Amino acid sequence: MKPRLQVMKFGGTSVGDASCMARAAQIVAQAGRNDAVVAVVSAMSGVTNRLVETANRAGIGDREAGSGLITALREQHNVALAALVPAETARAAVCRKLEEILAEGQRLFDGTALLRELTPRTLDAVSSLGERLCAPLFSAALAHLGARTEPVEATELIITDDFHGGAEPRMDLTRQHCESRLRPLLKEACIPVVTGFIGATAKGVLTTLGRGGSDYSATILGAALDADEIIIWTDVDGVLTADPRLVPNARTIAEISYREAAELAYFGAKVLHPKTLRAVAPAGIPVWIRNSFTPERVGTKITPQGRSVGGVKALTAIRDVALISLGGPGIVGVPDVIGRTFSTTAEVRANVLLISQSSSQNDICFIVPQSDAQRTVEALRHEFSQDLAHEVVEHITMDPNIAIVAVVGENMRGTPGVAGRTFSAMGRENINIIAIAQGSSETNISFVIEDKSVKHALLTTHREFGLDAVVPE
């Protein structure tokens, strides 16, 4: 009988130091006793941020920053290695591999500082170092537990387009590479430890899948190998009904649909990279979110349908956003205001998170991340300068003190009154709603409130839909 195949991904905190890594390696070794397993690892926590920061400093000519970081990374990885692998000979081989990668990093920083230019391609090469250092280390920890294992760089497996900083996989080629490079290892009960986050173009140039992209690496590999399941091991118990820092009664959701999970990811619940489920959607492979620090808990299972009960599953809030509104009674008469507004946001690459237009058509408002807000408003004032001068458009304003609350659940369409109940609850609690939007998928209802009311709004909605209730697993 063909053994089951699991792809297990460990995030930065799950491999954050030697003891976390030992715990993660235990989980993999144990699964490997019965099943075929592919492990995917992120960089040790914080490493990618430091790499990116240092690359930016090198890009403006700082020649010292690179060596400082390389020294710190050498120290950090060697300390972990010493704790994880007592055998001198096993350690020496890993050490050599780490030194090779560190030397490559040093050359990248030197070249960048010399040229005072950081290209997207170089930034990808630099940011990949964390995963490339982690995989051999993790594989050595696994070998120490008696498993057969081999570190593999995903540049040999995941073939992508050449969009640096956010590359997309080419699944046909990725499948072929996984078959020829990983399948033989799996047949020999060897556990490949693959670097998350990275891939390469068909010509072999290293790319990254975007920050937080190791989740996506896991589902890409899972889909390419027709895995039975994918487990994302992280530092929370799964997908929660709300952010527990704001809603103390939040609880882990046992099962949730792809669409619901994607909606939550998009709206800032940071458990999953938003693209993660794209790769598994065609095959419907289940994805688990589990806590590597409490592996006895079952976590959340993400499946194509979820549990088909409709209604509200979870809440999420996006803060650090700004509301931009453009309007005045005159705008009814201006042709193509909407078209011009959103061509302008597209030109400045503002990420529009929510749009709403009042029915009298004299006000268009939309929400962008705070980091995009200033340049968006400036571009709009420029675009509409004539109309503003003639008072056809009366105002273009920005309000940064707002937040979006999203109520997420499949089939809310089949559950009448969700919007009504949400908004009456807000009314009862005197929480002022500034704008409302409902996606056409009806998987979410989002509304805009003042940022200072976020906690109150979440607590109220959470209670209103009975999400506080303790449901036996």
Q: Which of the ranges 5-13, 119-127, 387-395, 455-463 carries the binding residues for Mg ion, by CB under 5 A?
A: 5-13
Q: Does residue 213 belong to the site contacting Mg ion (CB under 5 A)?
A: no
> CB of residue 15 vs Mg ion: minimum separation in angstroms?
10
Q: Does residue 12 belong to the site contacting Mg ion (CB under 5 A)?
A: yes
* Residue 52 in tokens: 């990116």
Contacting Mg ion within 35-74 (CB under 5 A): 42
Integer Cα distance of 170 and 158 in angstroms: 8
Give me the residue label for tokens 């290892």. 185
> CB of residue 48 vs Mg ion: minimum separation in angstroms?
7
Determine which residue in the list 10, 109, 138, 197 makes contact with ligand ASP, applying CB under 6 A: 197
Contacting ligand ASP within 130-159 (CB under 6 A): 130
If the CB atoms of residues 42 and 112 are measured against Mg ion, the closer one turns out to be: 42
If the CB atoms of residues 151 and 196 are measured against ligand ASP, the closer one turns out to be: 196
Residue facing ligand ASP at closest CB distance: 214
* Residue 244 in tokens: 């527990």
If the CB atoms of residues 43 and 147 are measured against Mg ion, the closer one turns out to be: 43
Determine which residue in the list 12, 32, 136, 306 makes contact with ligand ASP, applying CB under 6 A: 12
If the CB atoms of residues 122 and 341 are measured against ligand ASP, the closer one turns out to be: 122
Q: Which of the ranges 211-219, 296-304, 414-422, 454-462 carries the binding residues for ligand ASP, by CB under 6 A?
A: 211-219
Cβ partners under 8 Å of residue 181, min gap 6: 152, 156, 157
For residue 241, which of 192, 184, 302, 314 has the smallest C-alpha distance?
314
Amino acid, single-letter form, for residue 205: V
From ligand ASP, Mg ion, none, interface partner of 43 (C-beta below 5 to 8 A by class): ligand ASP
Determine which residue in the list 23, 211, 375, 456 makes contact with ligand ASP, applying CB under 6 A: 211
Integer Cα distance of 195 and 206 in angstroms: 12
For residue 43, which of 75, 11, 66, 65 has the smallest C-alpha distance?
11
CA angle 271, 275, 279 (to 5 degrees): 115
From Mg ion, ligand ASP, none, interface partner of 213 (C-beta below 5 to 8 A by class): ligand ASP
> CB of residue 206 vs ligand ASP: minimum separation in angstroms?
14
**At 346, phi and psi to the nearest 5?**
-65, -40
Query: Residue 393 burial by CB count (10 A; 0-12/13-18/19+): exposed, middle or buried?
Result: buried
Q: Does residue 48 belong to the site contacting ligand ASP (CB under 6 A)?
A: yes
Number of chain residues interacting with ligand ASP (CB under 6 A): 12
The SS3 call for residue 263 is helix
* Residue 148 in tokens: 């057969």
Cβ partners under 8 Å of residue 183, min gap 6: 225
If the CB atoms of residues 265 and 431 are measured against ligand ASP, the closer one turns out to be: 265
Query: Do residues 352 and 342 lie in contact, with contact meaning Cβ atoms separated by under 8 Å?
Result: yes
Site for ligand ASP, rule CB under 6 A: 11-12, 42-43, 48, 130, 196-197, 211-214
Site for Mg ion, rule CB under 5 A: 11-12, 42
